[in-house]
Structure 1
Amino acid sequence: MLVWLVLIFIAVPLVELYVIVETARSIGTPETIGLLLLVSIVGAWMVKAQGTAVLWRVRSKLQEGRMPGRELVDGALVLLAGALMLTPGFVTDGFGLLLLFPPTRAMIRPILIRRFRHRVTHHQGPGPGSGTIHNTDIADIE
């Protein structure tokens, strides 16, 4: 856990600063700022569009009386993409943009589902929700 915190709060900002400085050296400071703004605007538009599409798919599944498992995972990925797009920098924006494309999400989704399934099936001990989730609850996610 400590390694992840170091990466998130120290390494990522340092990498972002390095990329921004090098980009500014290559194309100029005003152009770099303009590019950062453009990527953020395009990203915000894409987050809204993809988020709306995911919301419609969730509603459709619910109206059919089915669990919207895959759609909820997609929604979480779109939310993560939005958070990455809010973080200033080209690297996080790049990862955020990748998460906004449905084919990229389709590649990441099975990894998350396996991880969720592993955590749910190996959950033990007392605590909120202990013993209330069953394998059948996550079967529809695929």
Structure 2
Amino acid sequence: MQIVFGEGMSVYQKSLCPINLALEVFGDRWSLLIVRDLMFAGKRHFREFLQSQEGISSNILAERLGKLVEGGILSKTEDPSHKQKAIYRLTPMGIDLLPVLAQIGIWGRKNLPVTKESGATAGTLETGGPKLWKRLMSDLRKDMSNP
């Protein structure tokens, strides 16, 4: 069965399980880290993503950005200040991932050996809870509409 979602991204699936379908869009090692960097670190350009401490290679980054754009999680626009650069932003679908990332971060902070520094954002998200998440999502929606 062919399933089409996002901006025309399609996959052939035997299962319509929502978790399975979601993992088709962002279930690899890098995609949620890219979304994390957009949400919490304010990264917007290709080179900024390359500087993340996880060390994604440029070819993998290009592939994942393309997949996230095709899947409707990110948008890509030309940077008006530099015609050879692109600006990546979260779409409404991408912004809806904030509670998912918050819960993953909270789980990681609770169950894995993170440092105080690396777990700081997850700690803030846990303390602030859904009220904070809604405010952050609102801020991201405002950013999404500003060119």
TM-score (normalised: structure 2): 0.27
Return the structure number with greater strand share: 2
Return the structure number with greater helix share: 1
Rg: which structure is higher? 1
TM-score (normalised: structure 1): 0.27
